């Protein structure tokens, strides 16, 4: 009950901030919540299943382009386009899982990276439809969801909060369910789990599809809430970012991805206001955090203060 109260309390705080934050931080927090949803999907695969993927930008972009192309070229409504984006992510993650899970360790990392790069190059190749590196802006008419204009800052924030709340509570339920316990056991000792009679391939397959679908939902939401779809979101950077978010916040903790995303986002934001070498400052902070909090922020809190923190 304490864990449920903590996570519901966070959602209540985020809802309250909607009414009090100035415009700049209001927009930033909406962006953080969408990116944190992306990181939560990654955390299911890496933090709980122990599978290190370097190709999650593929799923994020699948959701974004599935949604964006449906609006831009098919003239679909935002709701239908969002659904197509999520389904695109599920299909792509399922197809990749069937191939990538035949490998393990470093080979798995390389395979996921190569698929992500293939997705990025595919976007660039079909520039007639995707506009390549330039990307395209979604018209305001295409961002209407059941009569609600998602380009409006208030609607955008609440929509981001809704997505974040769904991903947060789904993650909390998932990791406390028997399925989640098996994933943790696979992370710790896959051979022993297999000896106990569990189908570890099926569990990892399901984990990768769930992870990819959540990432696609975040990608579709990012495109429709902020009105832009571009190839940069399919680049390697967007495969590394969720890994950093999860490591900073605490891999294998439900709140870790949000804390890591918030920390990293504002670290870069504040550093860029001081110097053009803002990544140097961010890098130093990351090294220090890694040295003195190797389990991430929430991981250290779990180790020191609350052993039962999910």
Q: Rounded mean pLDDT of 199-220?
A: 96
Rounded mean pLDDT of 189-193? 91
Instruction: List the alpha helices (DSSP H) in 75-105.
Output: 78-100
Phi, psi dihedrals of residue 229, rounded to the nearest 5°:
-130, 120
Q: Is 105 left (phi over 0), alpha (psi -120 to 50) or beta?
A: left
pLDDT in tens, 268-296: 888 888 878 777 887 788 788 878 888 88
In 135-267, DSSP assigns E strands to 136-137, 144-145, 148-149, 228-229
Q: Please state, in angstroms and rounded to a whole number, the distance separating the CA atoms of residues 223 and 228.
A: 5
pLDDT at 308 over 90: no
Q: Which of 126-130, 142-146, 167-171, 241-245 has the lowest mean pLDDT?
A: 142-146
> Is the model more confident about 94 or about 268?
94
pLDDT of residue 105: 87
- Does pLDDT of 1 surpass 80? no
In angstroms, the CA 33 to CA 273 distance is 22
Identify which of 205, 211, 218 has the alpha carbon closest to the alpha carbon of residue 85: 218
Comparing 161-170, 249-258, 293-302, which segment has the lowest mean pLDDT?
Answer: 293-302
Q: Which of 103-112, 176-185, 257-266, 271-280 has the lowest mean pLDDT?
A: 271-280
Give percent of the chain with pLDDT exceeding 70: 99
Q: H or E segment at 69?
A: helix 56-74
Contact 120, 130 (CB under 8 A): no
Residue pLDDT, tens place only, 40-87: 999 999 999 999 999 999 999 999 999 999 998 888 888 899 999 999
CB of 175 closer than 8 Å to CB of 48? yes
**What pLDDT was estimated at residue 29?**
96
Mean pLDDT of the chain: 91
Mean pLDDT of 87-104: 94
In angstroms, how far is the first alpha carbon of the chain from the final one?
A: 11
């Amino acid at each position: 009950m304490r864990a449920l109260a903590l996570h519901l309390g966070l959602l209540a705080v985020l809802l309250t901030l909607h009414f009090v934050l100035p415009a700049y931080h209001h927009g930033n927090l909406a962006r953080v919540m969408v990116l944190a949803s992306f990181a939560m999907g990654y955390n299911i695969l890496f933090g709980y299943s122990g599978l290190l993927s370097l190709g999650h930008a593929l799923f994020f972009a699948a959701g974004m382009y599935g949604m964006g192309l449906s609006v831009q070229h098919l003239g679909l409504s935002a709701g239908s386009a969002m659904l197509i984006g999520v389904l695109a992510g599920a299909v792509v993650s399922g197809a990749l899982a069937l191939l990538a899970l035949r490998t393990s360790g470093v080979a798995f990392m390389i395979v996921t990276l190569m698929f992500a790069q293939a997705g990025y190059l595919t976007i660039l190749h079909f520039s007639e439809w995707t506009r390549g590196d330039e990307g395209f802006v979604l018209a305001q008419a295409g961002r209407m969801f059941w009569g609600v204009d998602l380009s409006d800052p208030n609607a955008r924030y609440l929509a981001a909060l809704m997505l974040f709340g769904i991903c947060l509570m789904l993650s909390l339920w998932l990791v406390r369910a028997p399925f989640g316990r098996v994933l943790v056991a696979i992370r710790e000792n896959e051979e022993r789990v297999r000896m106990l009679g569990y189908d570890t391939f099926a569990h990892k397959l399901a984990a990768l599809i769930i992870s990819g679908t959540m990432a696609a939902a975040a990608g579709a939401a990012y495109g429709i809430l902020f009105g832009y779809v571009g190839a940069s979101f399919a680049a390697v950077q967007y495969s590394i970012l969720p890994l950093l978010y999860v490591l900073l916040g605490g891999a294998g903790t439900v709140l870790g991805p949000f804390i890591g995303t918030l920390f990293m986002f504002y670290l870069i934001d504040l550093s860029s206001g001081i110097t053009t070498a803002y990544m140097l400052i961010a890098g130093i902070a990351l090294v220090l955090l890694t040295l003195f909090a190797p389990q991430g922020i929430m991981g250290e809190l779990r180790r020191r203060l609350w052993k039962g923190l999910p």
